[in-house]
Structure 1
Amino acid sequence: MRLKSLLLVFLVTLFSCQEKKQRITPQDIPDPKQTDGGYVSDPAHMLSASATATINSMLTDLDKEGTAQVAVVLQEDIGVEDPTDFAHKLFNTWGIGSKETNNGLLIFLVRDARKLVFETGKGLEGDLPDILCYRIQQEYMIPHIKEDNYDEAFINGVKSVAAQLRTGNYAYDETSDEAYMAPVTDSSLVAAEDDMVVASPQAFAGAADEMQEYAEAPVEQGSDFIDRSPGAGFYIGLVLMLFLSPVLMHACFGGRRKKKKKHPDPDVDNIPVSIKEMSNDFLRPGWIGLLLIHITAWWLLWFMDAHYNVRLGFFKVLLVYYATWVVFMHLAVLIVRLRAETALRGADRHTRWQRLSAAHSQLEFSGYIFPLPFLLLYLRWYRHEQQKLRDTPYDCPHCHQALHRLDEKTEDPYLEKAQVIEEKLSSVDYDVWRCDKDDYQLVLDYTDFHAAVSECPSCEHKTFQCKTTRTQKRATTKAAGWGIKTYLCAACGFSKDYRFTIPKISESSSSSSSSSSSSSSGSSWGGGSSGGGGASSSW
C-alpha cells in the first residue's frame, strides 16, 4: 500500500514537472513579420500554402490602405495558459496595429483548447464591436473549424472582417470580391504623416558625457592658466534645446492657427483639425515665445560665464533652459487665466467650463514637466473648480427646485442619436438634468479636448474621423506628391475626400528613407496596443 502511495506521488510530481515545461509565452510564438514579413503565424501548418498566401494578400491590402493591421495565429497548444489572456498578451507583445490609431486585430486559434479568439485594438472597437466579432466567428469560421477545414474558415473569416471594415456589413457577397478586396483606386502606398524629425536626446547625451569628461578634466597643480572656455557639451546642449523647444511649445500650447489660403479647389490642404490639435484661444506664443526663451537662456549663460567665471557644459545648458521654461510657463499660465477671466466675465457656468477646459487642455501636460513652484498646485485647484462648475445642481426655471442629474445608464433616452454616438466616440460627454415635478430637462455638452475627432461640416457634431489615407502621387526629390484623406461622419454618414500635399524628399535622405520605410513596413508591426475588446468561441 505504501509502495502504491509513493508511486502515485511520483507520477503526480512527474506530470506536474512536465506541465511546467510546457508553459508557453508570447515570445515563443513565431512572429511572421520576423520570418517572411507576412501576417500569418502557423507553425503547425494547419493552413495550406495557397490559403496562407490568399490570407496574406488580403491582409496586406487592409494594412497598406490604413484600414487595419491584422495578425492571424494558429497554435496547436499554449500549455496551461488561458487562450483569451494569452491573446491579449500576444497582441501587446507584438504591437499589432498603428501606434497612433490602434487599428490592430488578432485572430488567434488554439486547437488543443478548442478556442477561437478575436482581440481588437481600441481604434477598431467602433467598427468591429464585440458582438460582430462573435457573429463572424459563429457564422463564417466555427462551422468549418468543426470539419477541420481551416483553409475555408480563415479565408472566410478574413473576408468577413475586411467587408465589415470597408462597407460596414460583415455579411459579404460570396459571388463578388468587391466587398473584401482593396478599393479600385491606387492605395498601395499609405501616406506617411509629415512629422518633424527631432534629434534623439539619447544620442546627444551619450556624446555629451564623453565630451564633458574630457572638457571638465582638472588641470595639473602649478598651472598658471585654467581654460574655462565652453566645451563640446555646451554646443551639443544648445543644439538639443533648439530642437526640443519647438516640441515643448507645441505640446503646451498646440499648433498655430492656420490661415486659409485661397485656392481654386477649397479642399486642398484644408483638412479638418481634430479637437486635440486646436490651438489655445487665450495665448499662442509661437515663434515669439521661442525667441524670448532662447534670448533669456543665452543671456543667462553669458552672465554666468562673464560674471561668475563658470565653466559651461552640457548639463548646465539643460539646467538654464529648464529654469527659463519654468518661469515662462508660470507667466504663460497666469496670462491665460487673466485673459480667460476677463473674457468670461458674466458668462454662465457651462460656457466657463467649456472655454476654460479648452484653454487648459494642453497646459495640463506642463504641470508634470514644470510642477514647481506653483504650477502643479494651480492645476489641482483648477480641476477642483472645474468639477464644481459641472457638479453643482441647477435650479428648475419653473418650480425653482434643484434639478437632479441622471447617471450614464439612464440618460441615453433623453439624448439624440448623434449625441449618443459622440459619447461612444468619447468626444463629448453629456449631462442630463431633470425636474420630475415639471417634467423639465436640461442637456449640457462637455467636450473632451483630448479627442482625436473633428466637427462634422454637415451635422456639426464631433463625429468626423479620417478613415483612409491614400497616396496618389509619391513625392520625389524633384517634385512634391499628393494624396487623399477620406473623412466619414459616424453620426450622419457624411463623407468627404480631402487632398493633401507631400513635401519633396531631400536628396540627402531620399535613399536611406526609402529603404528604411519599405523594410519597416514589412518586418515589424505598427506598435499598437489592445483595447481589451473582441470575442471568443469554442467548438
Structure 2
Amino acid sequence: MLKLHLFKSLSLLFFLFAVNISFAQTAYKVADIPDPKKNGGGYVSDPDKILDEGAISSLNSTIAHFEQETNVQVAVVIVNDFDPDQEDFDFAYELFKTWGIGSKTSNNGLLLFIAKDRKKYRFITGTGIEGVLPDVKLKHIAEQQLLPAFRKNDFSTGITNTINATGEIILNPENKSELNQFFTQRDGSNALNIWWLPSIAIILAFFGVFKILNRQGKNGLYIEGFDKNNSRDTTIAKGCGVIIFIVFVSVFIFVFSGSFNIFSNIRGAHIPYILFAVLAIGLFFRYLFCISALRKAHQDDKNFFDSVLVFHKKNWWLILFSPIILFAIIIHFIKRAKTVDRFKPVMDSKNNPMTRIDRDINIEGKPFLTEGQRKEEVVLAYDYDIWESADHKEHIIKAWPAEKYSSYIECPECTFRTYKLNKQVTVKQATYSHDGQAKLINECSFCKKTEFIKWITLAMLVESSSSSSSSSGGSSSSSSSSSSWGGGSSSGGGTGGSW
C-alpha cells in the first residue's frame, strides 16, 4: 500500500514537471528577436503569436502610413519574456540600437516593446522625435490606451489604440510639419555633405586631370600620334567621353528610379564612389589612348619605349586617380626590360659600335629592307633593327618577333613570314532570312599565294529576346516597403511601466 502511494505521488510530480516544461516560455535575447523588416517587410515583431493576424496587418498598414507621411519609423515588439539578466529599459534600448530604427540622419524612430509575462512595456524614442513625443505624453497615452486593455489581456486592442493615439500626434499638421522640416533639414544638409559636395569635388578634380592631359597633347607630348582626319582616332576619342557619360547617367537613373534589384540598396552616399569608379575607368581609357597615340607616332620601338617612359615620369600621379593605370605601367616596364639586349650596340668587323637606324626617320627601312621584310613589319610578324657602321660600309639587320609573330608562318612560295593559316573570308553575309557562306583559306599577305581549304556555312541571324526578358524581369523588382530600418539611434528617451 505504501509503495502504491509513493508511486502515485511520484507520478503526480512527474506530470506537474512535464506540464511546467511544456508551458515554459522562451526568454529572448536581443539577437533572437525576429526583425520584421527581414521577415516580410513589416513593422511588428510577434514571435510568440500573442496578437491576432488581423491586428498585425492593421498595425503594419497604419505604421506604413505614418512613415509615408512623416518619415517616422515605428516598431512594435511583443514577446512573452526576455533575458532575465536585463531590465526592460536596457533590453529595449539595445534592441532599438541594434535594429537602427528611424533615419540615420534624423533619428526619428519609435519603439514600443512589451513583455507579456513580466507585465512590462517600454517606449524608446529617437532624438529627432523627442520634441513631438516627449516622455510625459507617451506616459499619458499608455495610461489611457495601453494599460486598460492589457489588464484585460486584450493586447491587440491595447497596442492598436496606442499606435493610433501616437499617430494622431505625429500626423497633427503642426507636428507633421515639424517632423518633415527636421527630416528635410537633417537629411538635406547631410545629403549635401555626404554626396553632392564630394561628387562636385571629384568631377572638378577629374576635369582638371583631363585638361592637363589635353594640354600636354597640344604641347606635343603625344598629340603627333593623333590624326584629326582619321575617323578611327576621332571615334575612339569621342567614344571614351560618350561611354563615361552614358554609364554615369544610367547608374544615376537606376539608383533613383529603382529600375533594377541590383541597385535597390544604392543610396545617395554611394554616388561619389560610383562616380569616382566611372571616371577612373574613363581616365584609364584616356591613358590607353595616349599610349596608343605614342605608338602611332613612333615606328621605331626604342623611340616608343623612351617616349612612354617620359610620359610615365611626367604623369605618374595618374595612378592616384585611376589605380588600374599602375598595372599598365608595370606591363610597359616589363616589356621595356625585355628590350635591353635588343638595343645594345652591335659591333662591326673592326669591333667598333655600330649606329642603329632611327626607324621614325627611315620608316620604310630603305635601301636596307626588302619589300617582303617590310611587309613582315606591316603585318606585325617581325620588327627589324638596322645597324650601320660609322663609315657606312657595313650593315647588319636583326629580326625580332613582333606582336603577331605567332599568327603567321613562312610562306612556302616567297619564304617571308606573311602566310596566315585558316583565314575566313565571307562570301555571302548571313541574314535573318537565310544562312551565309564563307571560305576558309591560307593566304600570304605579300605574294598573295592562296590555298583553299573548305567552305563554311554561316548560321542565320536570330533576333535577340533579351529586351523582352529584361523588361519582364524588371517588372518584378518593385517593392513598396523597405527591407531594412534607416540606421537611427536614440539617447535613451522614452518611458515605461507595468500593469
TM range (shorter): 0.3 to 0.5
Larger Rg: 2
Larger relative contact order, structure 1 or 2 (CA cutoff 8 Å, min sep 6): 1
